[in-house]
Amino acid sequence: MKLKQTAFTLIMTALLAMPSVIWANGEVVNVYSSRIEKLIKPAFDAFTQETGIKVEYLTAKEAELIERLTAEGKNTKADVLLTVDAGNLWLAKNKGLLQSIDSEVLSNQVPAHLRDPDGNWFGLTVRARTIVYSKDRVQPSELSTYAALGDSKWKGRLCLRTSKKVYNKSLVGTMIKSMGEDKAKAIVAGWMENEPSIEAKDSGVLKAIAAGKCDVGLVNTYYLGRELKKDPSFPVALFWANQEERGVHVNVSGGGVTQHAKHKENAIRLLEFLSSEKAQNLFADENMEYPVNPNVKPSPLIAEWWGNVFKQDPVNVASAGEYQAAAVKLMERAGYR
């Protein structure tokens, strides 16, 4: 493992030490991305075609990129950080790795609750974490809210992903922000009273439901999209939680301009482009996420599965990071591992 990590570090160092490619007008923007190449390259290529600005990018896990940016400081070549989950974006901001930018384009194209209040980062795609259920053993009329998964009728029938995953930390963090610790803890404690099966991944939750190990669970919607894309008869369906209340929990993948960006204007142009009507589906569709720009409709396939509109929790997604530590402690106290 150590040899593998060392080799990876050497490769990243060598790549970043290479001189920028002269492209069209000689302009370049350097991106650190935790999103894999196939999810970002089509949008980067479109940006280059429109602007003549070459996008050079490095992909790695978000923790590695944040650690690298911290170590590089003023010497970094990165102009933009792209990552998933508002909790990670909040952490990057909190570590002083991003700078505030003033962009009327981004402010108009990214709703206020899906971006940093100080302009340090902006959501670029929307991902919802909601209820999924067995088509064979559950009726949609039996479902309603996150809290209702604590009803005794779901005892032994609930699957959850481990609390260690940032997606669940963010879900609980926004609950704390919206309703306070006592109510949030009561919800999580209710889940635990139903003795849920704890799975390592969202895909594991879906497969457990399909196999009859449990009947309901919580996942990010695109995980179900992947299964349905492979097998349209996959026996699990989606239910939008809390539609009669505050709305379903949403999170983002997003990006910000690094604190020591050498090509700041190009970095801003890239973020503006990624949030534009021209690029939103290129950036969102491959991973079956929703566009962040409210003027852009989701891809026909996503719209067919889940409809065009669902009520979102209006709480600013930055609270996912702000309350992450509190969420971890709350889940530990409730026995959610």
Domain 2-15+26-126+250-296 adopts which CATH fold? D-Maltodextrin-Binding Protein; domain 2 (3.40.190)
Model confidence pLDDT, tens digit, residues 128-169: 999 999 999 999 999 999 999 999 999 999 999 999 999 999
- CA neighbor of 255 nearest in space, from 228, 279, 274: 274
CB 206 within 8 A of CB 236: yes
All residue ranges of the chain with pLDDT < 50 are: 1-24
CB 21 within 8 A of CB 77: no
Provide the pLDDT for residue 300: 84
Provide the pLDDT for residue 48: 98
Which pTM value belongs to this model?
A: 0.89
2-15+26-126+250-296 shares its CATH topology with 127-249+317-333: yes
Provide the pLDDT for residue 301: 77
From CA 26, how far away is CA 99, in angstroms rounded?
24
Model confidence pLDDT, tens digit, residues 283-292: 888 888 999 9
| Partners of residue 30 on adjacent β-strands | 56
Domain definitions of the chain by residue range: 2-15+26-126+250-296, 127-249+317-333
From CA 182, how far away is CA 179, in angstroms rounded?
8
Provide the CATH number for the domain formed by 127-249+317-333 in this structure. Answer: 3.40.190.10
